[in-house]
Amino acid sequence: MNKEKRDRLYAVLCTVLTIVFISVMLFTVEKMPDLGRADNPDINEVMEFYVEEGPEETGALNAVTGMILHYRAFDTLGESCVLFVSAVCVFILLRIDGEASNDTLVAIDRRYEPTDDPILTQTFKLLVPAVFMFGIYITMNGHLSPGGGFSGGAIIGAALLLFLNAYGLEKTERFMSSQLYRRVTTMALCFYAVAKSYTFYTGANGLDSFEGAGTPGNILSAGLILPLNICVAVVVSMTIYSMYIMIRKGGFNK
């Protein structure tokens, strides 16, 4: 099959797939009950169930964390995968060509030398440990109080950017490389998928699970909620840093 026929077939298949997807979505929406009807009130017992029974079922005292990491956990996995895929797409679109001259690479690297402003440098050096610790606290305590993986990961990602501006690219890439990003992000997503598959399997089959209710002040409680929060924080923080470094620099150093 020549290129012209292959491109034409590709366009036809994309069009058919789009039409099928739109048709399924429209059919689904058309079958949904009207909001506010007697048999489908806009305020029902679901909200009360989540608030009252959520801590016991999910092990998270924070209702928001229990919602996104238990009742709609696979949706959160999809969101995390979207972050990973978006970072990969940015890398594909903005990566530096392997044939780029050394002069070009040196010029790019010089933009990431530590700032010459002593006030900014010293301020960043003071802020970086505090921001890192705050992000870790928000992540680790997210199932017991306001916080969680998304907000904690965003704070940790900001700390990585502060570290980059305070210490320069060379020191930052001693530990933050493309290999580390791929391995850690992939491991976090795989653990998340396996952990929630276990939860849903035991729940659907009426089997006992080791997960229990969360205890105020005990960050090691609530079963899988804590490690899932850590996985989300890893993906979010890695994505923030990788997108920043790729948009500004074109890619990671090897």
Q: What is the pLDDT of residues 17-35, one digit of tens each?
A: 999 999 999 998 887 766 6
- Residue 111: the pLDDT is 52
Tell me the average pLDDT of the chain.
77
Query: How would residue 105 be classed by pLDDT, with cut points 50, 70 and 90?
Result: very low
**Which of 48 and 189 is assigned the larger pLDDT?**
189
Note every long-range contact of 74-83, with CB atoms under 8 Å and residues 24 or more positions apart, other chains counting.
74/196, 74/200, 76/232, 77/189, 77/192, 77/193, 77/196, 80/188, 80/189, 80/192, 80/231, 80/232, 80/235, 80/236, 81/189, 83/235, 83/236, 83/239
Q: What is the tens place of the pLDDT at every residue in 225-236? A: 888 889 889 988
State the Cα–Cα distance between residues 211 and 202, nearest whole angstrom.
Answer: 11
Confidence grade of residue 117 (pLDDT, cut at 50, 70, 90): low
Higher-pLDDT residue of 146 and 211 is 146
Q: pTM above 0.95?
A: no
Question: pLDDT tens digits, residue range 55-68?
Answer: 777 777 787 887 88
pLDDT tops 50 at residue 156: yes
Please tell me the predicted confidence (pLDDT) of residue 39: 61
pLDDT band at 250 (very low <50, low <70, confident <90, very high): low
